Structure 1
């Protein structure tokens, strides 16, 4: 598949992304504030697991599937992290417009994340029993929720697993060793994980497996 064919295949997705970016640029024009440009970066990060899952779904190389699968899981929380950007509304001087901007990015990024999970499920559905597949999906969504907590409140990102693994793993082990002391971590993971699970099954209802891209 050449680049033109690929872009044409995802023209609706590209149009949605362009509209989201236009909203940020329009806000800059009317306010001269660069603040919400970070949403464009968030959208780029959300696109990484989507692209990885598309490649994984088409490759038959076992090693490539394993390596890319780990990268996919590492970057997947970025797809849902955008939802937490609603916290920035507390400092907004244009709350109604800003909730529309953040909401637009959040919907698109969540769609990319859910679609990438669907790609991965389709890749392995022949090898994995349906019950096990369901448990893996739920586990992945709750792992994403935990990763979002690390990103939003501890300011870790996907790259820190390579650039600062010691502090990242030390914090994670601390949460496991002293769960009561870090109750807010597990409450956030539970609540956000349940929300993602509910949204994912709404997504599946609207986008069945046999639906066209």
Structure 2
């Protein structure tokens, strides 16, 4: 009987993954309907963006699994860096609303629902991955560091979204084109107030991500046991210490 509570995190994760898969399938199904009715492969790029949104979720689970099994710290850092690098791809789909109304062939409300389904799925993947990483960091370094990492990741995520949408960099450009990426970053840092649009975008996107994460965190309090178990905590509701 003592092993039963330990299985709950696995069941919860399987259920969560199934839910996110269902959202992804529903989004792709909407896209398939549009392509079938219109006869043109418009908005196919959303499937690639959704695939990229899954990467931080999978990496977050890897971080939790390595931590849970007592794996080497360098591997944790490597997985954590990969997770942070790909994290902006998840909420990035929110910016795909700029394509709304630019591609004809379907009612505007349908395209809004289509993009919204992909954007919601991507945001859910990103926030869920951050919840897992947050708990792992908190378990290792304390609550304050956990929140600093969570908030800092969201702020960097907002910058990453800007770099992806406007200068058109990708996550892998950190390895394949670091000089161009660094040049743009240094140019912005040299005159931080010289681009009012960047400032507005960064503030608004950061606020949106922070508010979304706070809501997800509050809702996730009810799932604190399963998620905490990923980070090595074994508290079970109703069990005396």
**Same-fold call, TM > 0.5?**
yes
SS at match of 1:143: helix
Instruction: State the match for 1:14 in structure 2.
Output: 21
Instruction: Map 1:16-95; keep pairs closer than 5 Å.
Output: 16-59=23-66, 60-93=71-104, 94-95=107-108
2:121 paired with 1:108: yes
2:136 paired with 1:123: yes
TM-score (norm 1): 0.91
Structure 1 residues 109 and 177 mapped into 2: Cα distance closer, same or farther (>3 Å)? same
Q: Distance in 1 between matches of 2:114 and 2:213?
A: 22
> Number of matched residues?
209
The correspondence for 1:156, drawn from 158, 169, 192, is 169
Structure 1 residues 211 and 82 mapped into 2: Cα distance closer, same or farther (>3 Å)? farther
Instruction: State the match for 1:141 in structure 2.
Output: 154
Q: What do you get for the CA RMSD once the two structures are aligned?
A: 1.9
Deviation at 1:7, TM superposition (A): 9.5
Q: Distance in 1 between matches of 2:120 and 2:59?
A: 20
Q: Which runs of 5+ in 2 are unaligned?
A: 1-10, 228-241
Instruction: Map 1:185-204; keep pairs closer than 5 Å.
Output: 185-204=198-217
| Kept in 2: contact 1:57–1:120 (CA 8 A) | yes
Structure 1 residues 7 and 206 mapped into 2: Cα distance closer, same or farther (>3 Å)? closer
Where do 4+ consecutive residues of structure 1 move more than 6 Å? Answer: none
Deviation at 1:6, TM superposition (A): 11
Deviation at 1:8, TM superposition (A): 5.3
| Kept in 2: contact 1:50–1:113 (CA 8 A) | yes
**What does the per-residue CA deviation read over 1:21-66, in whole Å, with 9 as the maximum and x for residues that have no partner?**
1011110000012121111111110000000000110112211111
Q: Distance in 2 between matches of 1:183 and 1:128?
A: 37
| Kept in 2: contact 1:175–1:185 (CA 8 A) | no
Q: Distance in 1 between matches of 2:147 and 2:65?
A: 22
2:190 paired with 1:177: yes
Report the structure number with the largest CA radius of gyration: 2
SS at match of 2:139: coil
Q: Distance in 2 between matches of 1:16 and 1:90?
A: 23
| Kept in 2: contact 1:85–1:102 (CA 8 A) | yes
